[in-house]
Amino acid sequence: MAIVPLAFFGDVVGAPGRSVFSRAVKELKAKHSGLRVVVNGENCKNGSGLHPEGYRDLRAAGADAITLGDHCFKDTRIWPYLDDPKEPVARPANLAAGAKGKLFSRVSLGDAANGGKPGLYVVTVLGRLFMSLPANDPFATVDRVVSEIEAAEGGGDSALVLVEIHAEASSEKIAMAWHCLRRWPRRVIAVVGTHTHVQTADARLLEQRMAAMTDVGFCGGHGGVIGRTWESVLHVMTVQNPVSMEVCDTEPQADGCVILIDTEARAARGIEPFQFR
């Protein structure tokens, strides 16, 4: 049995999130030999979007791949990275056909002698329920992109897929997990949710082979409201003035989960949430 551990970190919010993410990666790598790391960089730039500085910080800290969500285009300076096939950062796959950027990133699960195979392809889709950025059907998009990955890899056992669903509704995230289990049982090994910044208590293995979790949480200051200071959030909610909500830097914490991938059986063997304080 060949087990490869992979850590998936929730949305990184601002400089506090980048700092605690870096510390968490070091601790997890000391605990899990051969750990691969995937992180959502959606809110790196002062709480909204990803900028080149944030991208470099996440990569230097050990991120093998970086995902994005509805703020993917907030900073135009990251656009060249999205187009560059050598940079492991991708936009959500279910945006308009003409949108900039790659649809997935690849993380090597094997050694160099075997060409890094099998590879883990990380695909993000946006949910459609209660989301402000219009998106195409996430279920049909996953089917299309996984089919494209299979075709590019020539089928067989050379490609595994992790699906991230960046969405508000728990029901939509859980539905995506069951959809992938039924349509892609030996291809998609995990479906994890992001966007709400609140870690859920439902990490599990569906039918003892696919890891699923509704929301992995976020990396940043937990002393406020989902990464922002409680004072600024309360001001917006009670006065309704359009003011900037400040990034929270108190009670830094990195949330996520560690997934154990059995590359021979093409299945997940475990999923364990973490909260690194």
Whether pTM exceeds 0.75: yes
The pLDDT of residue 154 is 74
pLDDT in tens, 127-148: 999 998 899 999 999 999 999 9
The pLDDT of residue 108 is 95
Closest to 63 measured CA to CA, from 85, 84, 88, 44: 88
The pLDDT of residue 28 is 98
Is residue 124 within a helix (H) or strand (E), and if so which, with residue range?
strand 119-126
Residue 261 to residue 159: CA distance in whole angstroms: 12
With b meaning 16 or more CB within 10 Å and e meaning fewer, what string describes 102-113?
bbbbbbbbbeee
Rounded (5°) CA angle 88-38-247: 100
The pLDDT of residue 1 is 59
Whether 71 sits among the annotated catalytic residues: the reply is yes
Rounded (5°) CA angle 64-84-127: 70
pLDDT in tens, 31-57: 999 999 999 999 999 999 999 999 999
Greater confidence (152 vs 65) lies with 65
Active-site residue among 51, 71, 197, 222?
Answer: 71
Q: Decide if pLDDT at 221 tops 80.
A: yes
Percent of the chain scoring above 70 in pLDDT? 98
Q: Are 244 and 14 in contact (CB under 8 A)?
A: no
Q: Which of 20-24, 161-165, 239-243 has the lowest mean pLDDT?
A: 239-243
Give how far Cα 230 sits from Cα of 21, 198, 233, 245, Å. Answer: 22, 15, 5, 9
pLDDT tier at 250, thresholds 50, 70, 90: very high
Q: Decide if pLDDT at 29 tops 90.
A: yes
The pLDDT of residue 53 is 98
**CA-CA-CA-CA dihedral for 78, 130, 249, 222, to nearest 10:** -130
pLDDT in tens, 156-198: 677 999 999 999 999 999 999 999 999 999 999 999 999 999 9
Q: Decide if pLDDT at 155 tops 80.
A: no
pLDDT in tens, 71-124: 999 999 999 999 999 999 999 999 999 999 999 999 999 876 576 789 999 999
Q: Are 150 and 192 in contact (CB under 8 A)?
A: no
The pLDDT of residue 112 is 62
The pLDDT of residue 242 is 77
The pLDDT of residue 113 is 59
